[in-house]
Amino acid sequence: MPAHRDQSEDRAGPPSGAGPAGGAPPPSAAAHIWEIRLPAVLETLGLVRTGLRRRLAQLDWPDDAALDVLLAVNEAVSNAVEHAFPPGAPDGTVEVAARVEPVGGRRRLRVRIRDTGRWLPRPGPEEDVNRRRGLPMMSVLMAEVLIHRGGPSPLDGTVVTLLSPPVPGP
Amino acid sequence: MRGRLCAVTGDQAPAAEQLLRVDLRRAGSAMVVTVAGEVDMFTAPRLEAAVGRSLADATVNVTVVDLTRVAFLDDAGLSALVTAHRAAERQDEPLRIVVDHNRPVVRPLQITGLERVLALYYDVAEALREPHSSGG
């Protein structure tokens, strides 16, 4: 299997997009607060949850809202792991990037889940009627769910963007 | 199935057995399946197998699944519960799921409407106490 050299980037450091030195405080609210890239395999689900859970705790994200974010992100990553890659395709990766955005004195989380493959059609209803809750769950849990499917090449990728409901500021 | 995590992250990724612990315990004619940890697409087969083992045991009349120590439950876990619930219904044997107020379990059950489908209980004693009335 191909090497995944850059498998885990858990960047919790200062925002890279900070303004010039000595200027106004960095626009931390719009900076990436957490990123990770992992192989699109089942074990990745728990690693993504562990990292994001820890980061949300550091941000004092309310427990109930944090659980909703974890549930929604987990379903998006599950879809990527389960459906992104056609049989025989090289192993792919899943990237998760989260940032905090201010909304009228409150804050919300924008999470982008990107894979390097394309979601395949789900199996027919006879065989899979019991496994179709992922997308509806994301829609209920989040304020907005955007799904951008890539072009014809399997490497074009699928990008899911989740916008959380706003929560009180820190 | 694609390859598992290779060396670099293999060190970080716990095995399914560490992420989800499942115990089966007899209580008279009932079986109590205690589940602790995180249920996701990776670990849900362990839950499904354990409950399936109880349902397949002809000497077991009631299967109780204790989820009060589950810290995460996703769509794959919900599907495992629904599959088990249907199998139990087919053999007219109750499947009782103990959730108490454990939010990581209650929340996904609520938003999917499955709280109205599955038989939910507050504690194991309550689930064991209820008589088995035919037809559930």
pLDDT average, residue stretch A100-123: 83
Of A4, A45, A67, the CB nearest to B41: A45
The region of weakest confidence among A100-114, A131-145, B100-114 is A131-145
Residue to mutate among A5, A10, A37, A41, with most B CBs inside 10 A, is A41
> Does the structure show a pLDDT above 70 at B82?
yes
Residues of B in contact with A131 (CB under 8 A): 75-76, 79
Mind spelling out the 3-state secondary structure of chain A?
A: CCCCCCCCCCCCCCCCCCCCCCCCCCCHHHCEEEEEEEECCCCHHHHHHHHHHHHHHHCCCCHHHHHHHHHHHHHHHHHHHHHCCCCCCCCCEEEEEEEEEEECCEEEEEEEEEECCCCCCCCCHHHHCCCCCHHHHHHHHCCEEEEEECCCCCCCCEEEEEECCCEECC
Residues of B in contact with A122 (CB under 8 A): none
Are A75 and B78 an interchain contact pair (Cβ–Cβ within 8 Å)? Answer: no
Residues of A in contact with B19 (CB under 8 A): 46
What is residue A153's predicted lDDT score, i.e. its pLDDT?
65
Are A134 and B75 an interchain contact pair (Cβ–Cβ within 8 Å)? Answer: yes
For B98-113, write each residue's pLDDT tens digit: 999 999 999 999 999 9
Of A5, A47, A71, the CB nearest to B13: A47
pLDDT average, residue stretch B115-134: 90
Phi, psi of A31, rounded to the nearest 5 degrees: -90, 155
pLDDT average, residue stretch B35-46: 97
State the fold for domain B15-129: Transcription Regulator spoIIAA (3.30.750)
> Does the structure show a pLDDT above 90 at A118?
no
Contacts of B34 (CB under 8 A, 6+ apart): B22, B23, B24, B25, B66, B69
| Integer Cα distance of A26 and B96 in angstroms | 53
> Does the structure show a pLDDT above 60 at B11?
no
Mean pLDDT of chain B: 90
Q: B68-102 b/e with 16+ CB inside 10 Å = b?
A: bebbbbbbbbbbbbbbbbebbeeeebbbbbbbbeb
CA distances from A56 to A12, A33, B80 (A): 11, 10, 28
What is residue B132's predicted lDDT score, i.e. its pLDDT?
74
* Cα B128 from chain centroid (whole Å): 16
- Give rounded-to-5 percent helix, strand, coil for chain B: 40, 25, 30
Mean pLDDT of chain A: 78
By CA distance, what is B20's nearest residue in A? Answer: A46
Are B8 and A7 an interchain contact pair (Cβ–Cβ within 8 Å)? Answer: yes
* Cα A150 from chain centroid (whole Å): 16
Q: Per-domain residue ranges for chain B?
A: 15-129
pLDDT average, residue stretch B62-82: 97
For A31-57, write each residue's pLDDT tens digit: 679 999 998 889 999 999 999 999 999
A154: pLDDT confidence band, cut at 50, 70 and 90?
low
> Does the structure show a pLDDT above 60 at A145?
yes
Residues of B in contact with A74 (CB under 8 A): 40, 72, 74
For A83-96, write each residue's pLDDT tens digit: 656 665 666 889 99
| B93: contact with A, CB 8 A cutoff | no
Percentage with pLDDT > 70 across chain B = 88
Q: Which domains does chain A have, with CATH numbers?
A: 29-122+132-168 (3.30.565.10)
Residues of A in contact with B21 (CB under 8 A): none
Residues of A in contact with B74 (CB under 8 A): 45, 71, 74-75, 78
> Does the structure show a pLDDT above 70 at A101?
yes
> Does the structure show a pLDDT above 50 at B91?
yes
| Integer Cα distance of A166 and A136 in angstroms | 20
- Provide the number of CB pairs (under 8 Å) joining chain A to chain B: 94
What is residue B40's predicted lDDT score, i.e. its pLDDT?
97
Check residues A151 and B102 and name the one with the higher pLDDT: B102
Of B9, B74, B82, the CB nearest to A74: B74
